Structure formats: C-alpha cells, structure tokens
C-alpha cells in the first residue's frame, strides 16, 4: 500500500515539474515571438538645403575669338616681333615678311593682329617661306573663353540659352568655373545626332587654356531651400506609380506617400508628405509594410 501511495505521489511531483517546464518553454516562445515582431531600424531627420539637377558633358576650351593670321604677300619670314603668350592690340605688328624679288626691293610686309588678345601660336621659324594660304600666327581672346561640346538629341529640349554651367578642367581639379550657355546650334548633325553648344566663361586670370579638356555640368533646375533626404530612404511602387517612405512614430513604422522633386546623386528633394521634424527610417525600411513595431538602433 505504501508503495502505491509513493508511486502516486511521485507521479504528481513529476507531472508538476513537467508542467512547470512546459509552461516556462511556452513563455519563452511567446517572448521570442514578441521580440521577433520588433524590427530594428535606423532613422534620420530631413535636412534643409539646396539641390540642383544637372546634365553632364565633355568638351574643349576655346578662346572667345581665336583667329589665324596670314601675310598679305608671299615671301620669307624676317622675324616675329612678339612671343607666344604676349598680349597684343588690334593692328599691332606681330611679324615682318621679306617680299623682295631678285633685282627688286620692297618694304617688308607688316603682318598685323586683327584683334586684341594673346599670341596663342607662332607657326614658322625665321627665314621660312611664306605662302598666302600659310598661317603666320594665331591670336586668341582669353579674357573670356568658350567651352564647346555636343548635346545628344534626347537632351536638347532641356537646354536653353542663359542656363548656368559649371566647368572643371584637369589643370585645376578642385576649382569650379561658372559660365552661361550662349549658343545652341539650330541643326542636328545627322551622323552623330548631336547639336553643338557653347558656354561663355569669364577668364580674367587666363587659367582656362584653349585646347584644354573640360567637364561641363549644365544646371537644368535648382532650389535653394528645400527638404532633402538620402535617396535610399525613398521607395518607389512601380505598379501604383507612387513614392513612399516610413516614419518612426511612437515605436511604430508609419507608411507615408510622398511627392519627390529634384534628384541629384544620392540626395532627393521631398516636395510634400513629411515635415522637417519627422524621423525617417533609412535602414530596415525594405522589411516594413506599415504598422510594425520597431526599435531604433544607432
């Protein structure tokens, strides 16, 4: 009888222990599930600043005016009166040409600069024969220069005279030069499907050299003070053709539809849908649908 009672007591004790173990595991599972529904995210606040949309091209620097100078008569070069890089005035003598014929003597031909500028190139050596079609020198206007480049047909409608341009050259990699679109060719080259464009650039210190390679950015659109976010924060729904993001509010992820504006590199302008005080989710947003519990992490 005692053995039976002992077995009964043992069964009750073991059952109680088993129930406690089962209950503990169930609590752990519930806690795990609760924790699993909390999505870790990182957030940022929108910043206010300026943004620009640009079109990028490559081209070359040319003088505002650059002309080749010819002698009015054939002969031999006596000498140049200037050196490359010298400033010259309009009608200044830059070379003397001997046009003497055997048995006859003439005054040397004075080759004059047709404009005020800088001597860009002297083509001949002293004593060289000069023909009428052979250039003696090149004179360049360098106080202002042009960036010359071609615009593809698809971008042509976006470009207009007066647009601001930003120019960079290899010689000054950390400096940006400002210019203005002054000429857009009215015709498209049928072979390249491009149109020629020119940007006029102030060049008072003659830093920009004719012949230099140039990178040109045309500012298509710009805003000075607007709400900006990292581009990765914004999600595009292609089926509905909308943009949205998630805002952290009271420990929850709130989905908000937005209107975007200018996009530049890794930054996007937000035209409507949020305020500058909102906490925007920038990491973990692709795991959200809206309404989830979230935990903000550093």
Do 109 and 173 lie in a common domain? no
Tens digits of pLDDT across the chain (298 residues): 555 555 455 555 555 555 465 556 656 554 444 445 899 999 999 999 999 889 999 999 999 998 999 999 899 999 999 999 999 999 999 999 998 776 667 889 999 999 999 999 999 999 899 988 899 999 999 999 999 999 999 999 999 999 999 999 999 999 999 999 999 999 999 999 999 999 999 999 999 999 999 999 999 988 989 999 999 999 999 989 999 999 999 999 999 999 999 998 889 999 999 998 999 999 999 999 999 999 998 7
Which SS3 state, helix, strand or coil, does residue 144 take?
A: strand
Find residue 168's DSSP bridge partners: 215
- Total domains, the chain: 3
- Tell me if 28 is assigned to some domain: no
Domain coverage including residue 98: 65-140
- Tell me if 162 is assigned to some domain: yes
For the stretch 151-168, pLDDT in tens is 999 999 999 999 999 999
* Token duo for residue 85: 């890089």
- Tell me if 13 is assigned to some domain: no
- Tell me if 24 is assigned to some domain: no
Find residue 202's DSSP bridge partners: 144
Do 128 and 75 lie in a common domain? yes
Q: Would you list the DSSP string of 14-69? A: HHHHHHHHHHHHHHHHHHHHHHHTEEEEEEE--EEEEEEEEEEEEEEEEESSEEEE
Statement: the pTM of the whole predicted model exceeds 0.75: no
For the stretch 68-92, pLDDT in tens is 999 998 999 999 999 999 999 999 9
């Amino acid at each position: 009888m005692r053995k039976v009672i002992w077995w009964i007591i043992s069964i009750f004790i073991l059952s109680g222990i088993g129930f406690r173990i089962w209950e503990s595991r169930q609590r752990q599972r519930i806690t795990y599930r609760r924790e699993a529904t909390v999505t870790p995210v990182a957030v940022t606040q929108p910043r206010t600043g300026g943004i620009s949309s640009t079109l990028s091209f490559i081209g070359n620097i040319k003088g505002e005016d650059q002309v080749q100078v010819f002698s009015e008569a054939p002969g031999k070069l006596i000498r140049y009166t200037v050196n490359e890089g010298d400033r010259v005035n309009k009608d200044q003598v830059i070379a003397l040409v001997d046009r003497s014929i055997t048995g006859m003597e003439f005054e040397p031909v004075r080759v004059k600069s047709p404009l005020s500028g800088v001597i860009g190139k002297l083509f001949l050596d002293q004593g060289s024969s000069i023909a009428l079609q052979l250039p003696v020198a090149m004179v360049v206007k360098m106080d202002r220069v042009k960036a010359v480049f071609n615009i593809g047909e698809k971008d042509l409608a976006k470009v207009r005279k007066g647009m601001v341009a930003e120019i960079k050259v290899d010689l000054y990699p950390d400096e940006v030069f400002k210019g203005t679109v002054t000429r857009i060719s009215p015709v498209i080259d049928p072979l390249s499907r491009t149109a020629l464009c020119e940007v006029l650039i102030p060049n008072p210190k003659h830093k920009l050299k004719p012949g230099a390679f140039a990178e040109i950015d045309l500012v298509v659109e710009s805003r000075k003070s607007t709400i900006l976010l990292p581009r990765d924060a914004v999600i595009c729904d292609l089926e509905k053709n909308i943009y949205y993001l998630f805002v952290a509010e009271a420990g929850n992820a709130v989905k908000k539809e937005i209107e975007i504006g200018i996009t530049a590199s890794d930054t996007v302008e937000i035209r409507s849908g949020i305020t500058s005080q909102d906490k925007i989710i920038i990491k973990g947003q692709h795991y959200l649908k809206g309404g989830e519990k979230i935990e903000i992490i550093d």
